[in-house]
Amino acid sequence: MPRRASAAEPAHLVVGYGAGGGADHVARVVADSLAADGYPVLVENRAGAAGLVALQAVLRAPADRSVLLLGTVGSVSIAPLLSPHAAGADRLHPVAVLAATPHVLLTSGAAPAGLAPDAELHARLARARRRPGELAFASLGIHSSAHLVGALMCRQAGVEMAHLPYPGSARALTDLQGGHIEMLVSTLQAALPLLRQGRVRALAVTGARRSPLAPSTPTFAEAGIAGMHQAAWYGLLAAPGMPGVQYEGLALRMQRLLRDEPALSRRLGQGGAEPLALTGAAAAAYLAAQRDMWREVIAQVRERLE
């Protein structure tokens, strides 16, 4: 029979990405809020394989420890559809969906005279049609949500472009600023500081509406490219072995914090993510819908992923 964790023993929140990135920021904001509420949390960064190292560690966690995953669209929604190493992700227990961020198509340098972002996007796509396979878009890694969004953009626009995968946002954004790559699909959260400084430019964002964090950037739909509504999300999920009473107590605690503590949502928003604050059945329904949506995207672009 597994021992019961003591009240003073911290829970372990595993993050599949390095310190300082978007997922790490969300994890530490949530850990701070839980600790202030009397629920100590130790954040563990276990980077590797686009979040799969962390996912596997949480799936294997013993039942006598309170282990959580800072779940992301890549490790929980997409990886199980593409990698056998993500098998079992559906055994995680959703505690809360915390925030989401749209994807954004970025470029750098001075804007062409007289061209609005959507017009510049169409000019670039027209050039890609004239020179199939010669132009490229970069993304935040093979089979990342940014890669799938870029592939879907090409499909919906009827163009062929090469794909340049990067191991995360830091190097990709550096190379974009330096002119080493022409276009990058990123999350808005990762790009927002550089956008605000004017060091990169946004041509379009995914979503049904413009992001309040980048209100001057048109959506892909406004630019005439349909079907581009995919967001990246961050959530809190419990290991399969967490005892029911501990899981239910944490879920209620997070529901209260997200509802009653505006500082938590404010800090998430300041980091470039749009708070969602979904718990319980609403969180489970959101994650199920995300899995279905990414399954459809993969079916549409699978030939471009090979």
* Residue 8: per-residue pLDDT: 58
- In a 3-state reduction of DSSP, which class is residue 135? coil
**CA-closest candidate to residue 193, choices 178, 209, 177:** 177
* Residue 6: per-residue pLDDT: 44
Q: Which CATH number fits domain 11-100+232-300: 3.40.190.150, 3.90.550.10, 3.30.10.20, 3.40.462.20?
A: 3.40.190.150
* Residue 270: per-residue pLDDT: 80
* Residue 17: per-residue pLDDT: 86
Give the CATH number of domain 101-230.
3.40.190.10
Main-chain dihedrals φ then ψ at residue 109, nearest 5 degrees: 85, 180
**Is 11-100+232-300's fold the same as 101-230's?**
yes
* Residue 1: per-residue pLDDT: 37
Q: Residue 28 and residue 30: Cα distance in Å, rounded?
A: 5
Q: Residue 276 and residue 102: Cα distance in Å, rounded?
A: 13
Distances in Å between the alpha carbon of 293 and those of 29, 103, 218, 230? Answer: 28, 15, 22, 8
Looking at the DSSP bridge assignments, the partners of residue 14 are 44, 69
Residues of the chain with pLDDT below 70 are 1-8
Stated pTM of the model: 0.91
Q: Residue 32 and residue 12: Cα distance in Å, rounded?
A: 13
Domain residue ranges of the chain, discontinuous segments joined by +: 11-100+232-300, 101-230
Distances in Å between the alpha carbon of 261 and those of 16, 69, 98, 110, 282? Answer: 26, 22, 13, 42, 19
Tokens 């027209």 identify what position?
Answer: 126
